[in-house]
């Protein structure tokens, strides 16, 4: 017999039965009305009986027995009330909290302390918001609470708990306790967030868990990312546009690497489960419906889609011109954004777009050969131009695969060679240098003729000397290029133009990006700046360095800690003479300009 039962044995049998039923000693508590019916007593009699028992339990002999029992069950009581996080919010319902206690312990607490609140105040640390217990000192917790309040505007919310602890120079458990006690922030799925959570922040947290968790180090486009999100979180009909809005709002958690996709910045939070009975992970995502899942992102996007359905693959300028003819006003950059980021659209060749499900108008029958007349006619109509052929030649020379775009086919390569033979002989030799006639879908005699021409004329004549002076490069663009290089295994100047969304794919100012990549040691210098540059083992260190600062500050500047560290690495490469094709004096002048950039106004 424990102390509570021993103390209760000092009262009559009927009184014991009433208390046991009221507090649910058998695991099921009953209301005073139910007890009154069972015992054939009135409600006032039941109330008088309970009050009389409570007075008797405060007799010194009974008090000693009950308090000793409560002391021995202290951990059981605290765990039932506070859960694994060790915190009981003052806003929490004490009725619900008490229901988690065994009936005899709840009776013992109320008989000695009157209320659960009084027991909590006597047996735990109290703040204005909660009661808590912690292995960390009260001084340390109070100091963290003060910092969370005073530095709230400097902290990047939401933030993985581990990142916040590292920034504050404190242990994770202490920071978690302080966050839960703070009135201005809260925990959500292992992340510290502002108290007013909304829907963007929890959506961003979930997306970050996907990108920095199962897809760490990868580049994922927004459309498949939104589909994976919906498969994991059925309570939120997150569209591609919703996902991009959420990710764009938190640059310390996400980075868009041009049209290659998005990646997570920083590690995902590890603590993901809320305490049992806690509502900390409960968020209502508004406007949830099956119709929202299936509808398009907007009327403008639908206009772009309908235009491509009617006319087939088009250049961006053609899409914009056809939309204007319909009397519909869409900003040029909006159409470009839809085409470049929406996975319902496909980039068929540089500057040419179509629908993902139907890449060419008049598509050939399923199983038809690559050189089918219908598909080839579409390709020739769009690509038999000098600029398109030059883009192909430069891209292949820079290391892009022959099938980098859907319209870059072996049949189209044969058409380019035939076209260049009669229309642009100055381009033919360079085209043959990168072409592979052995894979063309043509008859053997025609193939043998072009293999002979490749052997005789195939020499790349489009190499251009480096153009100086080197131009300034935003540090964030350097990080994007490092991530893309690690993802693809190499980098080149056309990739740099894609990531910075240059107006012209063949813009030679991207040479500055490649020069910095060599300077920081992220790639191994090729023999010429227009050739592919293989990623080096040091690229991971550069990626981590800049990603950590972006995760901490939400932006990258050359005069920040990360920028200064990068410039020091470049200076070291210059001193060692490890700059490859880059003129050391030009690279040094670029570093001096970047080092002297003024801090942007807040």
Instruction: Kindly state the tokens that stand for 295.
Output: 């509808």
What would the mean pLDDT of 170-197 be, rounded to a whole number? 91
pLDDT number for residue 336: 77
Angle at 478 between CA 160 and CA 388, to 5 degrees: 125
C-alpha dist (Å) from residue 481 to 231, 257, 493, 549:
31, 8, 10, 16
In this predicted model, what pLDDT tens digit does every residue of 125-169 receive, in sequence order? 998 889 999 999 999 999 999 999 999 888 999 999 999 999 999
Buried b (16+ CB within 10 A) or exposed e, 315-346: eeebbbebbeeeeeebeeeebbbbbebbebbb
Q: Report the length, in residues, of the chain.
A: 602
pLDDT tier, 339 (very low <50, low <70, confident <90, very high otherwise) = confident
- Say whether 314 sits in a helix, a strand or coil: strand
pLDDT number for residue 276: 39
What would the mean pLDDT of 518-547 be, rounded to a whole number? 96
Per mean pLDDT, which range of 176-180, 343-347, 383-387, 593-597 is the poorest?
343-347
| Residue 326 pLDDT greater than 60, yes or no | yes
- Say whether 256 sits in a helix, a strand or coil: strand
pLDDT number for residue 240: 84
Q: How far apart are CA 21 and CA 33, in angstroms?
A: 11
Closest-CA residue to 206 (of 137, 158, 166, 240): 158
Q: What are phi and psi of 193, to 5 degrees?
A: -135, 165
Percent of all residues in the chain with a pLDDT value above 70, rounded to a whole number: 89
Asked if 202 and 195 count as a contact pair (C-beta separation under 8 A), the reply is no
What would the mean pLDDT of 97-114 be, rounded to a whole number? 92
In this predicted model, what pLDDT tens digit does every residue of 275-304 receive, in sequence order? 434 455 566 665 544 454 444 446 777 888
Q: What are phi and psi of 97, to 5 degrees?
A: -65, -45
In this predicted model, what pLDDT tens digit does every residue of 492-524 receive, in sequence order? 999 999 999 888 899 999 999 999 999 999 999
pLDDT number for residue 277: 41
pLDDT tier, 320 (very low <50, low <70, confident <90, very high otherwise) = confident
In this predicted model, what pLDDT tens digit does every residue of 215-267 receive, in sequence order? 999 999 888 999 999 999 988 888 888 899 999 999 999 999 988 899 999 99
| Cα Rg of the chain (Å, integer) | 35
Closest-CA residue to 147 (of 129, 165, 161, 128): 165
Buried b (16+ CB within 10 A) or exposed e, 385-405: eeebbbbbbbbbbbbbebeeb
C-alpha dist (Å) from residue 156 to 153, 185, 252, 483, 557:
8, 12, 7, 22, 17
| Residue 530 pLDDT greater than 90, yes or no | yes
- Say whether 387 sits in a helix, a strand or coil: helix
What would the mean pLDDT of 193-206 be, rounded to a whole number? 89
Percent of all residues in the chain with a pLDDT value above 90, rounded to a whole number: 64
pLDDT number for residue 376: 66
Asked if 492 and 530 count as a contact pair (C-beta separation under 8 A), the reply is yes
| Residue 362 pLDDT greater than 70, yes or no | no
Q: H or E segment at 193?
A: strand 191-194
Kindly report the average pLDDT of the chain as a whole number.
87
In this predicted model, what pLDDT tens digit does every residue of 433-475 receive, in sequence order? 999 999 999 999 999 999 999 999 999 999 999 989 999 999 9
| Residue 480 pLDDT greater than 70, yes or no | yes
pLDDT number for residue 275: 43
């Amino acid at each position: 017999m424990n102390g509570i039962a021993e103390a209760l044995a000092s009262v009559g049998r009927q009184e014991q039965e009433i208390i046991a039923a009221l507090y649910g000693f058998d695991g099921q508590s009953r209301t005073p009305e139910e007890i009154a019916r069972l015992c054939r007593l009135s409600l006032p009699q039941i109330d008088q009986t309970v009050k009389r028992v409570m007075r008797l339990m405060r007799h010194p002999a009974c008090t000693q027995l009950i308090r000793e029992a409560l002391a021995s069950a202290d951990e059981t009581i605290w765990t039932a009330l506070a859960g694994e996080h060790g915190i009981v919010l003052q806003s929490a319902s004490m009725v619900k909290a008490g229901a988690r206690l065994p009936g005899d312990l709840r009776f013992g607490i109320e008989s000695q302390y009157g209320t659960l609140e009084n027991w909590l105040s006597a047996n735990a640390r109290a703040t204005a918001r909660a009661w808590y217990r912690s292995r960390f000192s009260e001084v340390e917790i109070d100091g963290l609470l003060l910092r969370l309040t005073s530095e709230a505007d400097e902290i990047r919310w939401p933030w993985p708990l581990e990142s916040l602890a590292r920034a504050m120079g404190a242990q994770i458990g202490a920071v978690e306790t302080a966050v839960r006690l703070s009135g201005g922030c809260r925990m959500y799925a292992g992340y510290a967030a502002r108290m007013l959570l909304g829907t963007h922040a929890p959506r961003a947290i979930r997306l970050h868990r996907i990108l920095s968790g199962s897809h760490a180090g990868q580049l994922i486009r927004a459309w498949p990312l939104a589909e994976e999100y919906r498969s994991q979180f059925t309570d939120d009909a997150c569209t591609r546009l919703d996902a991009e809005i959420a990710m764009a709002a938190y640059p310390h958690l996400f980075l868009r690497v041009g049209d290659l996709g998005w990646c997570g910045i920083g590690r995902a939070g590890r603590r993901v489960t809320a305490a049992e009975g806690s509502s900390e992970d409960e968020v209502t995502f508004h406007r949830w419906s099956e119709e929202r899942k299936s509808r398009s992102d907007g009327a403008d996007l639908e206009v772009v889609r309908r235009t491509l359905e009617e006319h087939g693959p088009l250049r961006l300028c053609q899409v914009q011109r056809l939309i204007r003819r319909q009397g519909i006003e869409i900003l040029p950059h909006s159409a470009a954004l839809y085409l470049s980021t929406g996975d319902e659209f496909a980039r068929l060749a540089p500057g040419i777009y179509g629908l993902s499900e139907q890449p060419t108008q008049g598509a050939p029958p399923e199983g038809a050969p690559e050189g089918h007349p219908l598909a080839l006619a579409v390709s020739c109509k769009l690509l038999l131009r000098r600029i398109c052929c030059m883009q192909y030649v430069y891209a292949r020379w820079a290391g892009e695969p022959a099938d980098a775009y859907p319209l870059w086919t072996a049949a189209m390569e044969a058409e380019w060679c035939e076209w260049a033979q009669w229309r642009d002989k100055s381009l033919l030799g360079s085209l043959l240098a990168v072409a592979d006639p052995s894979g063309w879908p043509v008859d053997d005699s025609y193939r043998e003729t072009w293999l002979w021409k490749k052997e005789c004329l195939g020499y790349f004549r489009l190499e251009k000397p480096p153009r100086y002076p080197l131009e300034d490069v935003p540090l964030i663009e350097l990080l994007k290029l490092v991530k893309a290089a690690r993802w693809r295994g190499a980098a080149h100047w056309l990739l740099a133009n894609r990531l910075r969304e240059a107006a012209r794919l063949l813009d030679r100012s991207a040479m500055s990006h490649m020069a910095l990549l060599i300077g920081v040691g992220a790639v191994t210098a090729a023999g010429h700046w227009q050739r592919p540059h293989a990623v080096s083992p040091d690229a991971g260190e550069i990626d981590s360095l800049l990603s950590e600062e972006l995760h901490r500050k939400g932006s990258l500047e050359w005069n920040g800690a990360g920028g200064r560290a990068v410039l020091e690495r470049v200076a070291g490469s210059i001193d060692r003479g490890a700059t490859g094709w880059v003129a050391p004096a030009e690279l040094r002048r670029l570093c001096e300009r970047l080092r002297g950039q003024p801090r942007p106004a807040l």
